[in-house]
Structure 1
Amino acid sequence: MKKIQRDQLYDQAKAWVLEAGKNIREKMTGTFEIASKSNPNDLVTEIDKNTEEFFVQRIKETFPNHGIIGEEGYGDKLTSLDGIVWIIDPIDGTMNFVHQKRNFAISVGIYKDGVGEIGIIYDVMANNLYHAKRSEGAYKNARKLAPLKMNPIFSEAIIGMNHFWLCENRHVDEKVMQQFVRTIRGARTYGSAALEFAFLAEGIIDGYISMKLSPWDIAAGKVIAEEVGGLVTTIDGEELTMLDKSTVLACNRQLHHDIASFIKKGRK
């Protein structure tokens, strides 16, 4: 992607994200419809849907040749990442949004032929914008984020991870993960994959693990984390496709090997 084109996309995407965040803050104090999707804990609100419609309408009007992948289904049915594709989660952390009115984010990743070019994560209630362009570093608001510390001490790591490893799955053994939690310094759960990626990039946590994430959960965070030296793969160290659900391991490169090796012991 040419620099001028990317800079224009970057500025426009940031403006839309900030506008969408303002809209969410104005609407969230009123009454809105809450429904569930795949299960009673998989929540969606009319504000999720309206926010995704907001992005889709503006992208289609301004960049009609761009593809869109969105959590709420208002985008395109894509089978490849050819061309320029926006990958959008209008509210990442909907349960937090509903119950806490905080700890949720807008997540927008822009990819060109499968390569992440732009990542934007907006912590709406804290008014913190994490953003990055490929090969140009990552930022929190106007402050450039420092490269991740290459701390090789596995036992001193703080890792963000959700509860899904406790559920029956084919990825890891529960006892191995219990030992993993005992071995590291601490585990944290924030309820928003986008914010976990942002906190990793900021250095608040040292790594992030999830057993099941969708492309819209990952797309922006992957770009931002990689711009501070993070490595973002499946828990097996394989490249993420951005078209399917997958496991995720994100951390600095020194920790990545240690964590992947530890978890591999629990593969079934």
Structure 2
Amino acid sequence: MDIQMLDEIYKNAREWIEIAGNNIRSKINQPLTVDTKSNPNDLVTTMDKETEAFFVTKIKETYPNHFIIGEEGFGDNLASLDGTVWIIDPIDGTMNFVHQKRNFAISIGVYHDRIGEIGMVYDVMNDVLYHAKRGQGAYKNDTKLSALKKDVVLEKTIFAMNHFWLCPNRLVDEITMQKFVRYIRGTRAYGSAALDLAYIAEGITDGYLSLGLEPWDIAAGMVIVNEVGGVVTDIDGEPLDLLSKHHVFACNPAIQGEVIGILKEGRK
């Protein structure tokens, strides 16, 4: 993708994400229709659908040859990431949106021929935009984020992960994970994959482990994390296919090998 086109898409994406965020804030206290999808904890609201429809309309009007992958089904059914593909989560952290009215984000990743070109994660209620263009660094609003430190040691790290890792599951032995969380400095659970990745890029957490994430959960955050020298892979350290669901491990690369080793020791 040439620089002029990249800059134009970036400018439009930033404008649209801010408009969508303003709309959500203006309606945050209005009554919501809340439905469930795959299970009782997989929520979707009228605002999720309204926000995704807004992006799809803008993108298709402005870039009719671009493709869209969206959580709520307003996009295209794709078999590849060839061409220019927008990967959108209109509200990442819908449960937080419903219960807390905070700690959720709009996530937009723009990929061209399978390469992440633009990532935007908008913390709507705090009016904080994490954003990046490939090869040009990552930013929190207008402040450029520093490259991740290279002297991080695992026992002094903070990981974002939820309690499912510490309960009996079919993936990693829970005893292994319980030992892991006692070894590191601490854990946090924010409930939004997009924000979790942005926090790694900011350097306020060091790692993120999550089970079964969809492409729209991580597409934007991957671009942002990569721009500060972080890594986002599956839990074996393998690249992610953004047309499939994955167990995701994102981190400062200084600790990647050690954590992957721990996870492999506990694999069932």
- If the TM-score is normalised by the length of the shorter chain, which range does it land in? over 0.9
**Retained in 1: the 8 A contact 2:92–2:194?**
yes
Aligned-residue CA RMSD (Å): 1.0
**Retained in 1: the 8 A contact 2:200–2:252?**
no
**Aligned-partner Cα distance in 1 for 2:78–2:167:** 30
1:110-259 correspondence to structure 2 within 5 Å = 110-166=110-166, 169-259=169-259
Q: Deviations over 1:56-104 (max 9, x none)?
A: 0111111011110000111001110000000000000001001111000
How big is the shift at 1:168? 5.1
**Aligned-partner Cα distance in 2 for 1:244–1:204:** 28
Give 3-state SS (helix, strand or coil) of 1:118's partner: strand
Give the equivalent residue in structure 2 for 1:50.
Answer: 50
TM-score (norm: length of structure 1) = 0.98
How big is the shift at 1:152? 3.5
Q: Deviations over 1:37-68 (max 9, x none)?
A: 11111111000000000000111111011110
How big is the shift at 1:215? 0.3
How big is the shift at 1:131? 0.1
**Aligned-partner Cα distance in 1 for 2:171–2:236:** 10
Give the equivalent residue in structure 1 for 2:108.
Answer: 108
**Aligned-partner Cα distance in 2 for 1:57–1:149:** 41
How big is the shift at 1:165? 2.1
**Aligned-partner Cα distance in 2 for 1:120–1:43:** 23
TM-score (norm: length of structure 2) = 0.98
Give the equivalent residue in structure 2 for 1:62.
Answer: 62
How big is the shift at 1:162? 2.1
Residue identity (%): 61
Q: 1:178 to 1:167 in 2, by over 3 A?
A: closer
**Aligned-partner Cα distance in 2 for 1:152–1:263:** 19
Give the equivalent residue in structure 2 for 1:82.
Answer: 82
**Retained in 2: the 8 A contact 1:111–1:117?**
yes
Give 3-state SS (helix, strand or coil) of 2:87's partner: strand
How big is the shift at 1:167? 5.3
Give 3-state SS (helix, strand or coil) of 1:225's partner: helix
**Aligned-partner Cα distance in 2 for 1:127–1:267:** 40
Give the equivalent residue in structure 1 for 2:30.
Answer: 30
**Aligned-partner Cα distance in 2 for 1:132–1:83:** 20
**Retained in 2: the 8 A contact 1:132–1:224?**
yes
Structure 1 regions of 5+ residues with no counterpart?
none
**Retained in 2: the 8 A contact 1:151–1:255?**
no
Structure 2 regions of 5+ residues with no counterpart?
none
Name whichever of 202-211 and 98-107 sits farther off: 202-211
Give 3-state SS (helix, strand or coil) of 2:79's partner: coil
**Aligned-partner Cα distance in 2 for 1:34–1:234:** 31
How big is the shift at 1:257? 0.8
Question: What is the number of equivalent residue pairs in this alignment?
Answer: 268
**Aligned-partner Cα distance in 2 for 1:21–1:255:** 35
**Aligned-partner Cα distance in 2 for 1:221–1:131:** 9
How big is the shift at 1:265? 0.7
Q: Deviations over 1:226-261 (max 9, x none)?
A: 000001100101000101110111111111111111
